[in-house]
């Protein structure tokens, strides 16, 4: 094999990749705050089993008003974290993932609203997850971390809301995995949700989403450095980075669209070469390498396994008599946003949400982001998404 | 980890998977015939390098007429082989992949036409490929097998046509990778192609196709049992089967569609279980397991690498002044078939073929298969595809 083999060209050749992107005690924490939301008694999980103690990492922007009525919860997507807005800095290598949406004078105007974003339970940016010490032996949970559900995540967010003095959110807003949480909030806590926004999300994971999700999980566990989930103490930060990179590559393709990749890359070549070498790359391959490597430097493979499974298990109808009955429970004003080129969270799923929620009688608005960028549109098309959020949340605020 | 971990539940738990699905001397050969098309002098490859000797495995149906004017070449897709029609039997575990299309009285009527299908160069069902002995040491080429192009494959088919006494095909027909070959035939050998059919194929691989293709290749080489391509002599048929299964899983999803998987599986569960185990499967996961395992039992991972790269390199415009100039060379009557739900070989690519070929003046017909089954539609929707092929090829035959 020649030296351009990707296994010899990947991030392993550069700076070492940490075994986990998780915050650890003593690391700089960026703008995060931490709350232990469950310590007096254990937290019972929907799927059985318990967690003894749960820490949540979160960020806030703006000021909670005296009546506690101006709080907006923003729920992040799979590989997001609590840093929805703000600059990069020590302990926070990237700027906020919704920087153009959240801030003074922005669509979620922090001069008016108190915005909260919580790193998900099961995540790796400060909240309890597979990287956390298992109470039995103090070693990381690894593969011992239990499978959690969207409902478990939402229940931990509700405990944090109690701590912050927020009895009722003005709005709960999320895209993709975050939208799953918005939906569960509206179904589980109708008295605590003043309005809800679901962007490019779904009432229940589709078989195509499950299939893609499974391939990502298998890419990780097929990497022998995954080592049954036990890699946190591996020398030199060794871990299933190749597997996680591959999982990310798979995802990065269906996060975009044919038109998006065609417009950006076409058949441009990344490597100067004769084109007839198995490992010479087109630009699109270099792009996927980049995104794979970038994720492997900041995200924990075990969190990727857990949160992907959480999304596959997402089904607001489970134990509630099906989707129609569950979505019929929603009473708050709701905004459902579709992206026309999304092949992962398809317009079909958005129409289903629209139809089933409005059938239950909740005031429903539906809007479509027109984009070539597919699912990633909710992280790109701020010129369209911003006014939608501004108008919807402002309308709720004035009506409240 | 529990015992239901997929790595402990995959095909390794059943019958051993052969290191290669390739035919080897002494194995039953089914209905295949073999021809050595290049032995007197070596075969120079488009990308540089040579092959000393090339054997092609092929099948034929019907009888070549005295003038040699009734021959139809059918080109198979990525994991297909020469057995396009006919039953299963020793050396041929499955019935023909286009069984409803080829045969007496069928759309490609073998009472009228002499139909030929050739296992691709680089393949693993009897034609020279990575499993073949390297002339230097008699051991399998493995990763030493050169990268080949669609044009190389077509040139070997032309050498076989010479051997069979076919100066000019009545029609060259192919879907997906096979359609790439149809297109190259029409561009490279205008005097030898009476008509051409391209089904769900493309003038050049798109960045989305390349991206998905790359993830499949990385899934294979990330499997440490790939062993730099040298696994043919591994004990107990060990090889990169997990990697190949993962590559197939990735592909099997984009071969279908959201609607297709939703209609067939929804959120049905495969494993009786509490649903909160990382490795408990939905039906769609079981389906992907099945297809991955099935391919790993019959296909060689190194062939998968080579032929995927061939498809990524496919660009009829390369070295010919671009797509418009190259497709403008086509003079024969052409049928382009699109599948409306195909997210891999998108309708955009079919419209491009239609527009650029007809702009060059070739008689062009365009038809669309209406299907929920995505790219796999050309292997499923025989009720629609059959009449299209029948009408088109009959028209050419009568006009000839």
**pLDDT string in tens for chain A (400-residue length):** 333 443 334 444 456 777 778 888 888 888 999 999 976 789 999 998 899 999 999 999 999 999 999 999 999 999 999 999 999 999 888 899 999 999 999 999 999 999 999 999 999 999 999 999 999 999 999 999 999 999 999 999 999 999 999 999 999 999 999 999 999 999 999 999 999 999 999 999 999 999 999 999 999 999 999 999 999 998 888 899 999 999 999 999 999 999 999 999 999 999 865 668 888 899 999 999 999 999 999 999 999 999 999 999 999 999 999 999 999 999 999 999 999 999 999 999 999 999 999 999 999 999 999 999 999 999 999 999 999 999 999 999 888 5
B288 vs A: CB within 8 A: yes
A244 vs B: CB within 8 A: no
What 3-state class would DSSP assign to B39? coil
What local confidence, expressed as pLDDT, does residue B51 receive?
Answer: 95
What local confidence, expressed as pLDDT, does residue A273 receive?
Answer: 58
- The β-bridge partners of A72 are A115, A171
H helix or E strand, kind and range, residue B211: helix B207-221
- Asked whether A348 and A210 are in contact (CB, 8 A), the reply is no
What local confidence, expressed as pLDDT, does residue B49 receive?
Answer: 87
Name residue, tokens 């997850």. A129
Average pLDDT (B239-265) is 96
Rg for chain A, CA atoms, rounded: 21
Q: How far is B267 from chain A (nearest CA, A)?
A: 6
What local confidence, expressed as pLDDT, does residue A20 receive?
Answer: 77
Average pLDDT (B187-199) is 98
Contacts of A242 in chain B (CB under 8 A): 218, 222
Using alpha carbons, list the distances in angstroms from residue A58 to A31, A84, A127, A301.
8, 10, 8, 21
Annotated catalytic residue within A20, A120, A132, A176: A176
What local confidence, expressed as pLDDT, does residue B400 receive?
Answer: 54
Say yes or no for a CB contact (<8 Å) between A253 and B7: no
* Range of weakest confidence among A82-86, A139-143, B18-22, B74-78: B18-22
Q: What is the ipTM of this complex?
A: 0.93
Residues ≥6 apart with Cβ < 8 Å to A134:
A140, A141, A144
Say yes or no for a CB contact (<8 Å) between A211 and B249: yes
Of A136, A309, A85, A144, nearest to A218 by C-alpha is A309
Q: How confident is the model at residue B20 (pLDDT cuts 50, 70, 90)?
A: confident
Read off the tokens for A234: 């591996």
Say yes or no for a CB contact (<8 Å) between B288 and A207: no
Say yes or no for a CB contact (<8 Å) between A211 and B285: yes
What's the per-residue H, E or C state across chain A?
A: CCCCCHHHCCHHHCCCCCCCCCCCCCCCCCCCEEEEEECCCCEECCCCCEECCEEEEEEEECCCCCCCCCEEEEECCCCCCCCCCCCCECCECCCCCCCCCEECCCCEECCCCEEEEECCCCCCCCCCCCCCECCCCCCECHHHCCCCCHHHHHHHHHHHHHHHCCCCECEEEEECHHHHHHHHHHHHCHHHECCEEEECCCCECCHHHHHHHHHHHHHHHCCHHHHHHCCCCCHHHCCCHHHHHHHHHHHHHHCCCHHHHHHHCCCCECCCCCCCCCCCCEHHHHHHHHHHHHHHCCCCHHHHHHHHHHHHHCECCCCCCCHHHHHCCCCCCEEEEEECCCCCCCHHHHHHHHHHHHHCCCCEEEEEECCCCHHHHHHCCHHHHHHHHHHHHHHHHHHC
Catalytic status, residue A176: yes
Q: How confident is the model at residue B376 (pLDDT cuts 50, 70, 90)?
A: very high
Q: How far is A228 from chain B (nearest CA, A)?
A: 7
pLDDT over 80 at B16, yes or no: no
Say yes or no for a CB contact (<8 Å) between B346 and A258: yes
A256 vs B: CB within 8 A: yes
* Sign of the dihedral through C-alpha B122, B128, B58, B93: negative
- CA–CA separation, A302 and A299 (whole Å): 9
- CA–CA separation, B89 and A67 (whole Å): 78
Contacts of A252 in chain B (CB under 8 A): 211
CA quadruple B122, B126, B132, B138: dihedral, nearest 10: -160
B262 vs A: CB within 8 A: yes
Read off the tokens for B398: 């009568």
Q: How far is A241 from chain B (nearest CA, A)?
A: 11
Nearest to A211 among B274, B275, B284 (CB): B284
- Asked whether A377 and A256 are in contact (CB, 8 A), the reply is no
DSSP letter at B167 equals S
Nearest CA in chain A to B292: A215
Read off the tokens for A330: 């929603």
Say yes or no for a CB contact (<8 Å) between B278 and A309: yes
Say yes or no for a CB contact (<8 Å) between B274 and A343: no
B223 vs A: CB within 8 A: yes
Q: Which domains does chain B have, with CATH numbers?
A: 6-399 (3.40.50.1820)
What local confidence, expressed as pLDDT, does residue B2 receive?
Answer: 39
Q: How many CB atoms lie under 10 A from the CB of residue B37? A: 22
């Amino acid at each position: 094999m020649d030296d351009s083999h990707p296994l010899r060209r990947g991030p392993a050749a550069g700076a070492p990749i940490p075994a986990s992107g998780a915050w650890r005690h003593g690391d700089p924490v960026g703008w995060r705050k931490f709350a232990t939301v469950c310590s007096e008694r254990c937290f019972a999980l929907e799927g059985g089993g318990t967690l003894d103690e749960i820490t949540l990492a979160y960020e806030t922007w703006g000021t909670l008003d005296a009546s506690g009525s101006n709080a907006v919860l923003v729920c992040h997507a799979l590989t997001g974290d609590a840093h929805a807005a703000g600059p990069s800095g020590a302990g926070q290598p990237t700027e906020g993932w919704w920087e153009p949406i959240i801030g003074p004078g922005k669509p979620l105007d922090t001069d008016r609203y108190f915005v909260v974003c919580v790193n998900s339970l099961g995540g790796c940016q400060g909240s309890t997850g597979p990287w956390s010490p298992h109470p039995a032996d103090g070693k990381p949970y690894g593969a011992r971390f239990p499978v959690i559900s969207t409902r478990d995540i939402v229940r931990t967010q509700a405990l944090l809301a109690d701590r912050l003095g927020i009895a009722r959110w003005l709005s709960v807003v999320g895209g993709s995995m975050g939208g799953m949480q918005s939906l569960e909030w509206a179904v589980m806590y109708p008295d605590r949700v003043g309005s809800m926004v679901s962007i490019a999300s779904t009432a229940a994971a589709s078989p195509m989403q499950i299939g893609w999700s499974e391939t990502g999980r298998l890419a990780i566990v097929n990497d022998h450095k995954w080592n049954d989930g036990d890699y946190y103490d591996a020398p030199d930060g060794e871990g299933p980075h190749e597997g996680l990179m591959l999982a990310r590559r798979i995802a990065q393709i269906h996060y975009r669209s044919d038109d998006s990749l065609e417009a950006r890359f076409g058949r441009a070549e990344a490597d100067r070469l004769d084109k007839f070498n198995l490992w010479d790359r087109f630009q699109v391959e270099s792009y996927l390498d980049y995104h794979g490597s970038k994720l492997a430097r900041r995200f924990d493979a075990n969190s990727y396994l857990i949160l992907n499974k959480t999304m596959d298990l997402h089904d607001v109808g489970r134990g509630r008599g099906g989707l129609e009955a569950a979505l019929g429970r929603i009473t708050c004003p709701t905004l459902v946003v579709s992206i026309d080129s999304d092949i992962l969270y398809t317009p079909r799923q958005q129409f289903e949400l629209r139809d089933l929620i409005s059938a239950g009688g909740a005031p429903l608005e539906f809007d479509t982001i027109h984009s070539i960028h597919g699912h990633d549109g909710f992280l790109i098309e701020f010129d369209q998404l911003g006014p939608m959020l501004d108008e919807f949340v402002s309308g709720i605020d004035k009506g409240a």
